[in-house]
A = this chain, B = another copy of it.
Amino acid sequence: MPGNTFGQLFRLTSFGESHGAAIGGVVDGCPAGLLLDIAAVQAELDRRRPGSTPLGTTRNEADRVEFLSGLFEGKTLGIPIAFLIRNSDAKSSDYDALKDVYRPGHADLTWEQKYGLRDHRGGGRSSARTTAACVVGGAIARQLLAREGVKVSGYVSRVGDVALELVPAQLDSVWQSNVRCPDPEAAARMTKLIELVRSEGDSVGGVVSCVVRGLPAGLGEPVFDKLDANLAKAMLSINAVKGFQFGSGFASAALRGSEHNRLPQGGVLGGISNGEDIQFDVAFKPPATIAQAQQTVDRSGKTVTLEAKGRHDPCVVPRAVPIVEAMACLVLADHLLRQRSARL
């Protein structure tokens, strides 16, 4: 059954594979009358772009978004906003050797188990490249949210064993840091670790944290579409994510109620926003593709040694920040519209 549409009232349908003609999407449900700042959408995309930070992959795609519909004289018409991003720098031949091999830690084998066939080039639709469509959709959602005074800010709070303990006082300097961490001292240590890991042909995991300010109270549904539940799904939809925690998160499992009741609740109670800051964390595993030789199996079941040739990120969290923000924006815009029918 189709699983490529996200959201109910503000809805993104995503399409495209890593090495097909294009990736893109259709945003349906954006209200009419929004003056869309297309340069701002492109700027979001640039933040996610391969090559956007010296700490990421050297694959360098222009990633220009083209809008196909839904806009007239700069404004949204209330109808589908379709967009695409051509795949320009896709070195398919890098992947020829992978046609009959299943890379460890990738979806290669599970794809064949599911569909019986696959596009082996660059992970096909399982590539993180598909998140570019989320970033465009999220950038539109962000402009809708901005009108209500909502601000969504992600940042890197952990790379390997280098972690930030507290939410930084100010988050505006995130984009001045190559590692997307607003604390200069931690950023320097994270940068050093990523460079070390890359030099070793290895990779490393990390955590992206996100703060939402200015969200009105009352968003989220009380049972199945809790605001935090939909954020959890949104985050686990991002490639390489292995965990999500909201507010006090896993730490709360070790606490007493008398302690926990005194803490901020992460901005949600009973699934519904309470007007305070939203705060959550997203754990990313280390990229599975590394430059070291790895043992795996091929289609015939034979064990083979694999040396990856594609260009990959040693650590995904710096480039994941705009994706986390985009997915959060999609969830929040959806709930903002949903709330319009909660009362008479």
| Residues of A participating in the B interface, judged by any CB pair closer than 8 Å | 1-6, 8-9, 11, 13-17, 20-24, 26, 28-29, 31-34, 66-72, 75, 77-82, 84, 104-107, 109-111, 113-119, 123-126, 130, 147, 158, 160-161, 197, 202-207, 217-226, 228-237, 239, 242-250, 252-261, 265-266, 268-275, 283-290, 292, 294, 337-344
Contact = CB atoms under 8 A, between A and B. Distances in A.
Contact of A246 (B82, B236, B261): B236
Contacts of A4: 26, 28, 79-80, 221, 223-224
Which of A3, A6, A69, A105 neighbours the largest number of chain B CB atoms within 10 Å of its CB? Answer: A3
Contact of A255 (B248, B285, B337): B285
B22 A338 contact: no
A246 B242 contact: yes
A29 B341 contact: yes
Contact of A79 (B222, B286, B337): B222
A14 B80 contact: yes
Contact of A340 (B119, B269, B340): B340
Given A16-B69, A252-B242, A33 B292 contact: no
Contacts of A31: 341-344
A270 B343 contact: no
Nearest to A158: B253
Contacts of A206: 253
A251 B260 CA distance: 23
Given A3-B222, A29-B341, A21 B67 contact: yes
Contact of A224 (B3, B34, B221): B3
Given A205-B260, A256-B202, A32 B342 contact: yes
What 10 A-B pairs have minimum CB-CB distances, sorted nearest first?
A107-B270, A3-B221, A3-B225, A203-B257, A243-B245, A2-B28, A229-B236, A233-B233, A110-B272, A32-B115
Given A4-B80, A343-B33, A20 B69 contact: yes
Contacts of A248: 242, 285
B249 A242 contact: yes
Nearest to A243: B245
Given A111-B272, A115-B343, A22 B68 contact: yes
A343 to B, nearest CB: 5
